[in-house]
Amino acid sequence: MLTDIQILLVTVLSIAGALFAAALGWCESGEPFNARKFTASILRAFAAGMVFSVTSYASLETADIWTYFASFLGGAGIDVIGNRAAGAIASRNKPASP
């Protein structure tokens, strides 16, 4: 079984991965900081952290460096996918211009 510290580290690394992806996306966009968009990324980051901690606890006997690396990348991936989905939904809801 994973220890509490290992579970906490998996959670923190997946949150850090999602926040890292959000910060890189903001830097790449060149837009001024928009707290509303970043707040959505923070919420996705915490959701990613919870998902990875629960699945790691349920499926792993021990954690190694690859577990932590996968948690970081998984958190980043969840944020990227969330941003893509939000962008697709937002563009679908815009009225077509004549």
pLDDT digits (tens, 9 = 90+) for 8-33: 888 899 889 888 988 888 888 888 88
Q: Which residue has the tokens 């937002």?
A: 90
Question: Does residue 22 belong to any structural domain of this protein?
Answer: yes
Assigned domain for 63 exists = yes
Amino acid 41: pLDDT: 82
- The verdict on residue 97 lying in a domain is no
Is 73 inside any structural domain? yes
The pTM is what?
A: 0.79
Domain that holds residue 36: 4-89
The number of folded domains in the chain is 1
Task: Please tell me the distance from the alpha carbon of residue 55 to that of residue 69, in angstroms, as a whole number.
Answer: 15
